[in-house]
Amino acid sequence: MKLVQQILCAGILSCCMVVSSIAQSASFDEAMEEFESRDYASAYRDFTAVAMTGDRDAQFMLGYVYSKGFGTPQDYVEAHKWFNLAASQGDREARRARDKLTAFMSAQQISRAQQLASEWQPAQAESVEEIEQEEIETSEQVEPVILWSDPVSTPIKTSPTIDLSREEKRELQSRLRDVGYDPGPIDGLPGERTLRAIRSYQSDFGLKVDGLVSREVLEDLRSRNFAEVEKDETMESDRKDTLLAQIRELNRDGQVSPLSGAQYKQRIEAILADYDRPWLTRVLFDNFRDGDYTLDPRWTVESGSFSASSRDYLYTSVPVPRLTTSTGKKSDAEEIVGIFSDIFTKATKKREELDQYTGYAEIYNTSSIANSFSARVNLNGLLDNGRFVFGVYQGTSRINGYRVAYTTGSNSSIELLRTTFDGQSVLGSIELPQALTGDAHNVELRRNSDSLIEVVLDDEVLFVVTDKKLDGNFDGFVMGNHGGNFRILELEIYSER
C-alpha cells in the first residue's frame, strides 16, 4: 500500500511540475495578450515575472512599458536597464530602443542604469513569485502616454482597426524590412518581432505608437515611397550618424562615470553586432509574390517540380523517404548525385532498402555572388524527416559550393557542407532541441573575406568555421528538396562591395 501511495505522490508531483512549466512558458504570451487588450497593470506584472527569469523578449517589453508608463510609473533608468539586458542577448530592437532613450536621460541616469544592468542576476522561482505578488498588490493601471520624441503626457486614442489581408500583412512586413526594421519572417503572420518593428517605425516617424498591424501603418509606408537609391544612401548615412553617436556616448559615459571592463565589452560587442557587416550590396531577392519564378529574378528548374501559384511562397514537394532498418551511410559520391541531380552517371549499388524513394527537386538562379556574402532563406518545413538544401555554387555544373542542409522532425539538425568534384565534406553540424516542423525559420549562411563561415538560425549563430578551399566568386544560388513539403517564403543575398 505504501508503494502505491508513493507512486501516486510521485505522479502528482510530476504533473504539478509539468503544469508549472507550461504555465511559466505561457506567461509571456499571456502578458502580450493583456498588453494588446490594454490591461496594462496585468501586462506589467507578468512581463516583470518573466523578465526576471532572463527571457529576452520579456526584458524588451518590460523596458518598453517602463519607457512609456504602461501600467507603472514611467522610469527611464529601469527602461534603459531592461533594454540593455535584452540587447546583451542579441536583441537588435532593444539596442535601438536603448540608444533612442539615452537622448532623454542625464549622464547620471545612464550610469545608474548601466550599473543596475551589470549587477542584475536572474531570479529564482521563489523570488519571481514574491515579486509577482508584490506587483499585484501595488500596481495600478496607467494609460500609456509617452512617445520617444515627446516625453510629455499625451493620452493615446482608440486603436485603429486591423483589417489587412494576409497579402497586405506580408507587404507591410516587407516594406518594414526594406527601410531597415526587423519584422522577422515575411510570412503574413505577424508575431512579436513584427509588432516590435512597427512600434520602432511609428516612433521614428512621429506616428502614434500602438504597435498594431494596421492599415494606417501600411498606408504610411506606401506614401513615403522610399526609392531604392535614396533608401541605400539614407540608411548608410543614418548608420554612420548612429555609429558616431553611440561611440560618442560610450566615450562620454566613460568620462562621467568609470565603466568596468565588462561594461565596455558588452557595449562594444553590441555596436559591432549592428555595424560590422561587410555585405551591403544586394545581389538577389525574391519573395515569389508575383506568382512566376521564371522572371525577375529568373529561376531554372533542374529536376522535380516547384510552384509559386499561391503568390505567398515557392512550394516544392517530394515524398519523404521511408525509414528502413538499414544503417548504411551514403558515400560522398552518392550524396553528390542526390544533391546535383544526374550530373554523375546513374549507376546504383545494391541496397537493402529497394523501396526507398530517391526523388529530388532542384531549382537554381544564376547571379554573380562575391566570395564574401550573406545568404538568408526564410522557409517552412511542413513534414517531419524532411531535408532541404540551399547554398552558393561555382561553375555551370553547380558542383563546387557551400550548402546548408536543413532537416526537420524530432531529429532536426542543420549542417554546413562543402561540395567539390572530390566529394562532400561536413564542415559543421548541430542537432537542435526544437523540431523544425510547422514554423517558418530564417536560416542564414555568411562568409567573410577571411573565409570565416557562420550558420545562423533566427538571429542565433549556431556554429562558426573557417574554410579556404573554395577561392573566387560564386556563379549562383541553388536550392534542393531531398524529401518533404517545403515553402520558401523569402530569400535574399548580399555581397561585399
Per-residue pLDDT of 61-100, as tens digits, reads 999 889 888 888 888 999 999 999 988 887 777 887 888 8
In this prediction, what percent of the chain has a pLDDT beyond 70? Answer: 73
Kind and range of the H or E run holding 284: strand 279-286
**127 vs 130: CA distance, rounded Å:** 5
- pLDDT score recorded for residue 487: 93
- pLDDT score recorded for residue 184: 79
**485 vs 304: CA distance, rounded Å:** 12
495 vs 255: which has the higher pLDDT: 495
Query: Hey, CA dihedral for 6, 11, 15, 21, is it positive or negative?
Result: positive
Q: Flag the least confident range among 106-120, 127-141, 230-244, 369-383.
A: 127-141
Of 28, 29, 66, 34, the closest CA to residue 47 belongs to 28
Please tell me the CATH code under which domain 166-224 is placed: 1.10.101.10
- pLDDT score recorded for residue 387: 93
Q: Would you tell me how many other CB atoms lie within 10 Å of the CB of residue 79?
A: 25
Mean pLDDT across the chain: 76
- The cell for 207 is 506616428
**394 vs 372: CA distance, rounded Å:** 14
124 vs 354: which has the higher pLDDT: 124
Average pLDDT of the residues in 359-386: 91
Q: pLDDT-based confidence at 358, cuts 50/70/90?
A: low
Is the predicted pLDDT of residue 17 greater than 50, yes or no? no
- pLDDT score recorded for residue 127: 53
297 cis-preceded (ω within 30 degrees of 0): yes
Q: Flag the least confident range among 23-27, 136-140, 257-261.
A: 136-140
- pLDDT score recorded for residue 19: 39
With a CB cutoff of 8 Å and minimum separation 6, the contacts of 70 are: 35, 40, 43, 44, 64, 142, 144
- pLDDT score recorded for residue 375: 94
**277 vs 496: CA distance, rounded Å:** 9
Strand 423-431 to strand 413-420: parallel, antiparallel, or no bridges (unpaired)? antiparallel
- pLDDT score recorded for residue 116: 92
Distances in whole angstroms, Cα of residue 472 to Cα of each of 218, 364, 371, 455, 494: 42, 19, 6, 20, 16
**232 vs 413: CA distance, rounded Å:** 36
- pLDDT score recorded for residue 237: 58
For residue 43, which amino acid is it? A
N- to C-terminal Cα separation, the chain = 76
- The cell for 146 is 509617452
pLDDT, one tens digit per residue, over 31-52 is: 888 887 888 888 899 999 999 9
Q: pLDDT-based confidence at 199, cuts 50/70/90?
A: confident
Distances in whole angstroms, Cα of residue 387 to Cα of each of 118, 317, 353, 358, 406: 43, 11, 19, 12, 6
Q: Residue 43: beta bridge partners? A: none
- pLDDT score recorded for residue 192: 78
Label residues 337-375 b or e (16+ Cβ within 10 Å = b): bbbbbeeeeeeeeeeeeeeeeeebbbbbbbbebbbbbbb
- pLDDT score recorded for residue 425: 93
Average pLDDT of the residues in 312-327: 72
Q: pLDDT-based confidence at 412, cuts 50/70/90?
A: very high
Q: Residue 75: beta bridge partners? A: none
- The cell for 460 is 542565433
- The cell for 276 is 560590422
142 vs 454: which has the higher pLDDT: 454
Average pLDDT of the residues in 439-448: 91
Fold of the 281-496 domain: Jelly Rolls (2.60.120)
The domain segmentation of the chain, as residue ranges, is: 23-138, 166-224, 281-496
Q: pLDDT-based confidence at 130, cuts 50/70/90?
A: low
- pLDDT score recorded for residue 238: 58
Average pLDDT of the residues in 397-408: 93
Report helix, strand or coil for 113.
helix
192 vs 347: which has the higher pLDDT: 192
Average pLDDT of the residues in 432-452: 90
Is the predicted pLDDT of residue 159 greater than 90, yes or no? no
Phi, psi of 213 (to 5 degrees): -80, 90
Name the pTM for this structure: 0.45
Q: What is the DSSP string of 311-358?
A: SS-EEEEEPPPPP-S--PPPPHHHHHHHHHTSSS-------S-TT---
Highest mean pLDDT among 26-35, 92-101, 291-300, 419-428: 419-428
- The cell for 105 is 536621460
**424 vs 334: CA distance, rounded Å:** 10
**23 vs 86: CA distance, rounded Å:** 22
- CATH 1.25.40.10 is right for the domain spanning 23-138: yes
205 vs 321: which has the higher pLDDT: 205
